[in-house]
């Protein structure tokens, strides 16, 4: 058991009902007295939120959907649980910036998480960042907000958490000074790693969300299948570690044991390894700078084969599109992200084939990249336009 410190860290968990949220609460529950849950947020999953309120007794529960908030309110009254229920996007920002809290787990999926996560950055909170789309859309603005407020940013994405752990503890955004040559992001390759281009083009949603190594939300599972997840992570790494695009390399590693690596100028390569379980990076960030138990089974390397191969951007064009958007700069990453969100949603609904995900992103980038991207309004406008352009484009396509 880890020693109980006083006072406890006070948490808001954005996206508590999702995969990352559930894993976060699992780690929190292993350390009674160390953490206090101030607020939990969800969108539509009322029963899961009731259960989380029963176990974790937050002061506030937010459901972004008003109907779900009303249903939650009734359920909590019936159970006599003294939890205040709020709804709507403003409520997400309120609980992410409340003076009572010091730590925010940002685990909403997609650009929907941006306003509250950015607000937490402005408010100087410790941010545990799972919501990579926030950094993809608003990279420079977000990092500026962190620097200006003195907020603390700890990556939850397993690759970035591995890189964070493999960098010097006093790393402050200067890779050259740290003696770093390159950042190596590993990728499982997803469920379509060995499929032909034809088979990938006609893959079904059920095939796409059957990830070989990780249990994740549907959107990120499809992103893993298209390698867009790795593309988003390349952009995420650029901002988190102030890396030049040419310093970020991608290596397919199907076993997901080496979570990522840092290559130094003296030839050293430092990596973080572990059983693929998101509770490890979550516990690392929750306890930072101390290590705390995560409930993760020990890594058994005896008899294991680890392999590495190059990513194939011909079969997985989304990865190349992300590198292209990063090189283009400006609003391109926001456009890429929004087009991807719309296309993935349509694919999951069975409305368009898998191959249209990359096609519609390419289309949106062609139509919109190059626009202004200095203010948050510029980025939100790019996001809106890309959603419109992609929706219209996909209406012409049949599954
Ligand atoms: P998920 O779909 O399981 O959960 C998403 C959460 O966001 C839920 O709580 C949902 O209620 C909430 N949400 C969805 N839409 C919302 C909206 N419009 N407004 C407010 N809340 C909304 O997703 P996940 O797998 O937990 O992923 C969450 C984030 O973490 C994503 O950005 C993902 O890329 C990132 N991430 C996840 C993993 C993983 O292993 N699951 C790993 C690395 C990074
Ligand atoms: Mg990842």
Q: pLDDT tens for residues 75-129? A: 999 999 999 999 999 999 999 999 999 999 999 999 999 999 999 999 999 999 9
- Give me the CATH code for the 329-394 domain, please: 1.10.1740.10
Check if 223 has its Cβ closer than 6 Å to any atom of ligand 1: no
Number of C-alpha atoms within 13 angstroms, CB side, residue 340?
32
Which distant-in-sequence residues (6+ apart) come within 8 Å of 19 by Cβ? 215, 216, 217, 278
Domain with CATH 3.40.50.720 in the chain: 9-155
Relative to the alpha carbon of 163, which ligand is closest? 2
What is the tens place of the pLDDT at every residue in 130-187? 999 999 999 999 999 999 999 999 999 999 999 999 999 999 999 999 999 999 999 9
The finding on whether 154 has its CB within 6 A of some atom of ligand 1 is no
Ligand with smallest separation from the Cα of 256:
2
Whether the CB of 330 sits within 6 Å of ligand 1: no
**Closest ligand 1 atom to 158 CA:** 43
CB 12 within 8 A of CB 96: yes
Structure-token pair, residue 179: 């003696």
Q: How far apart are the first and last CA of the chain?
A: 53
Task: For the chain, give every residue range classified as CATH 1.10.1740.10.
Answer: 329-394
Query: Ligand 1 centroid to 217 CA: how many Å?
Result: 6
Mean pLDDT over all residues of the chain? 96
CATH number of 9-155: 3.40.50.720
**Residue owning tokens 């790795």:** 230
CA distance linking residue 321 with residue 298, whole number of Å: 37
Distance 23 CA to ligand 1 centre (A): 12
CA distances from 158 to 182, 209, 271, 368, 393 (A): 17, 19, 12, 31, 34
Q: How far is the CA of 31 from the centre of ligand 2 (A)?
A: 25
pLDDT of 386? 98
Q: Check pocket membership of 43 for ligand 1, CB cut-off 6 A.
A: yes
- What's the pLDDT tens digit per position in 234-283? 999 999 999 999 999 999 999 999 999 999 999 999 999 999 999 999 99
CB contact set of 36 (below 8 Å; sequence gap of 6+): 8, 9, 10, 11
Nearest atom in ligand 1 to the alpha carbon of residue 229 is: 34
* Any ligand 1 atom below 6 A from CB of 19: yes
- Determine which residue's CA is closest to atom 18 belonging to ligand 1: 112
The Å distance, Cα 178 to ligand 1 centre, comes to 33
Dist. CA 259–CA 275, nearest whole Å: 9
380 in Cβ contact with 386 (< 8 Å): no
Separation between Cα atoms, residue 64 and residue 66, nearest integer Å: 6
Tell me how far apart the alpha carbons of residues 194 and 307 are, in angstroms, rounded to a whole number: 14
Query: What is the 212 CA–ligand 2 centroid distance (Å)?
Result: 14
User: What atom in ligand 1 is closest to the CA of residue 221?
Assistant: 25
* Structure confidence at residue 217 (pLDDT): 95
Q: What separation in Å is there between the alpha carbon of 132 and the centre of ligand 1? A: 10
Which residues lie at CB < 5 A from ion ligand 2?
Answer: 157-159
- At residue 292, the pLDDT reads 98
**Contact 21 CB / ligand 1 (< 6 Å):** yes
Q: The tokens of 285 are what?
A: 């960030």
pTM over 0.85: yes
Distance 381 CA to ligand 2 centre (A): 27
Residue 289 CB neighbours (<10 A): 6
Rounded Cα gap, residues 363 and 379, in angstroms: 18
Which ligand places an atom closest to the C-alpha of 340?
1
For residue 88, whether the previous peptide bond is cis, meaning omega lies within 30 degrees of 0, is no
Listed residue (322, 303, 157, 308) closest to 241, CA to CA = 157
What confidence tier does 349 reach under pLDDT thresholds 50, 70, 90? very high
**φ and ψ of 316, to 5 deg:** -125, 70
pLDDT at 131: 98
How much of the chain, in percent, has pLDDT values that exceed 70? 98
| Band (35; pLDDT cuts 50, 70, 90) | very high
88 lines ligand 1 (CB under 6 A): no
Distance CA 137, CA 121 (A): 15
Q: How many CB atoms lie within 10 A of CB 121?
A: 29
Cα separation, 19 vs 48, whole angstroms: 12
pLDDT at residue 398 greater than cutoff 90: no
Find out whether the beta carbon of 285 lies less than 6 Å from any atom of ligand 1.
no
């Amino acid at each position: 058991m880890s020693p109980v410190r006083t006072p406890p860290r006070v948490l808001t968990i954005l996206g508590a009902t999702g995969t990352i949220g559930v894993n976060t609460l699992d780690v929190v529950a292993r350390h009674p007295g160390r953490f206090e849950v101030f607020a939990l947020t969800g969108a539509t999953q009322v029963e899961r939120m009731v259960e989380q309120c029963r176990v974790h007794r937050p002061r506030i529960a937010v459901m972004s959907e008003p109907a779900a908030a009303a249903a939650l309110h009734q359920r909590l009254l019936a159970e006599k649980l003294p939890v205040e229920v709020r709804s709507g996007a403003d409520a997400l920002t309120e609980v992410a910036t409340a003076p009572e809290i010091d730590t925010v787990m940002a685990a909403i999926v997609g650009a929907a998480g941006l306003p509250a996560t950015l607000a937490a950055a402005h408010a100087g909170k410790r941010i545990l960042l799972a919501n990579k789309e926030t950094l993809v859309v608003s990279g420079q603005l977000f990092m500026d907000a962190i620097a200006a407020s003195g907020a603390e940013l700890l990556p939850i994405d397993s690759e970035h958490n591995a890189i964070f752990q493999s960098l010097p503890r006093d790393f402050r955004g200067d890779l050259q000074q740290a003696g770093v040559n390159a950042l190596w992001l590993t990728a499982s390759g997803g469920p379509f790693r060995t499929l032909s281009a034809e088979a990938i083009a006609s893959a079904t949603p059920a095939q796409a969300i059957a990830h070989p190594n990780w249990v994740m939300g549907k959107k990120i599972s499809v992103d893993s299948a298209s390698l867009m997840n790795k593309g988003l992570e390349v952009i995420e790494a650029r901002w988190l570690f102030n890396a030049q695009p040419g310093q970020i390399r991608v290596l397919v590693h199907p076993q997901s044991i080496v979570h990522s690596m840092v290559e130094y100028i003296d030839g050293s390569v430092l990596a973080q390894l572990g059983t693929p379980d998101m509770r490890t990076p979550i516990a690392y960030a929750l306890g930072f700078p101390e290590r705390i138990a995560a409930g993760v089974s020990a890594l058994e390397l005896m008899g294991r084969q680890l392999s590495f191969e190059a990513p194939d951007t011909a079969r997985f064009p989304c990865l190349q599109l992300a590198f292209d958007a990063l090189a283009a700069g400006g609003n391109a990453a926001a456009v890429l992200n929004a087009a991807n969100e719309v296309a993935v949603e349509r694919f999951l609904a069975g409305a368009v084939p898998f191959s249209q995900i990359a096609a519609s992103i390419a289309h949106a980038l062609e139509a919109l990249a190059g626009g202004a991207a200095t203010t948050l309004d510029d980025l939100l406008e790019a996001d809106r336009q890309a959603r419109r352009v992609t929706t219209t484009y996909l209406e012409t396509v049949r599954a």
